[in-house]
Chain A
């Protein structure tokens, strides 16, 4: 079965430190991979995507993610965390086939401490 895993329910990091939110995938074929962020009681905001090309993808708000095919990972990173980055982060991948429905990870709650 195709799936997306976010192994950490919660990540805590001090403001100014680098942050990593992990994501691994199990999707047949060439995966399309996405990161979204959700602030409390809000919808999801798109951060970045990997479709093809460079393995390092840069996105909104200083975030980036690296596609690693051998490790089937797409970890989200930021060099210096801000308190305002505290939110729920979702990794997603598109399902093989023509319907293009997203497969979602369970989410990782990021807390950046001042």
Chain B
């Protein structure tokens, strides 16, 4: 089955530093990847839609300069949290949709727990 990996699975950083999270589709090509954040015991909040080779589309209220998304290939999208602050601490989840274009479910990565001190 389709597998999506995320790296790292958890990260602790100091306030003001930048953190990069990778999302990879391991056995399929993903023209579209989605980035979500999830607060404890809450639902997923879509942050942005990442399309290979083009700029990401950010949801309302998400700062594009703070959450940099790059989707440089059909198997890799990265989310960089720039100048992280404690309020950015969250569980970040990516998902990927395969290249076929038909309606297929999104395949989710295992998530990255970010803690900003």
Interface size class of A (residues with CB under 8 A): 20 to 34
B85 on interface, CB distance cutoff 8 Å: no
Q: A49: which B residues are within 8 A, CB to CB?
A: 105
Q: Does B106 contact A (CB under 8 A)?
A: yes
- How extensive is the interface on chain B, given as a class? 20 to 34
B110 pairs with A106, CB closer than 8 A = no
Contact B43 A36 (CB under 8 A): no
Describe B's contact surface by its main secondary structure. Answer: strand
Which B-chain residue is minimally distant from A49 (CB atoms)?
B105
Is the pair B46, A102 in contact by a Cβ cutoff of 8 Å?
yes
* B44/A90 in contact, CB under 8 A: yes
Interface residue A71 (Cβ < 8 Å from any Cβ of B): no
Beyond A36-B108, A43-B111, whether A101 also contacts B49 by CB under 8 A is yes
For the complex, give the distance between the alpha carbons of A56 and B83 in Å: 48
Report which A residues bind B (CB closer than 8 A). 32, 34, 36, 41-46, 49, 51, 90, 94, 99-102, 104-107, 109
Instruction: Please list the residues of chain B having a beta carbon within 8 angstroms of any beta carbon in chain A.
Output: 4, 6, 34, 41-44, 46, 49, 57, 91, 93, 95, 97, 103, 105-111, 113
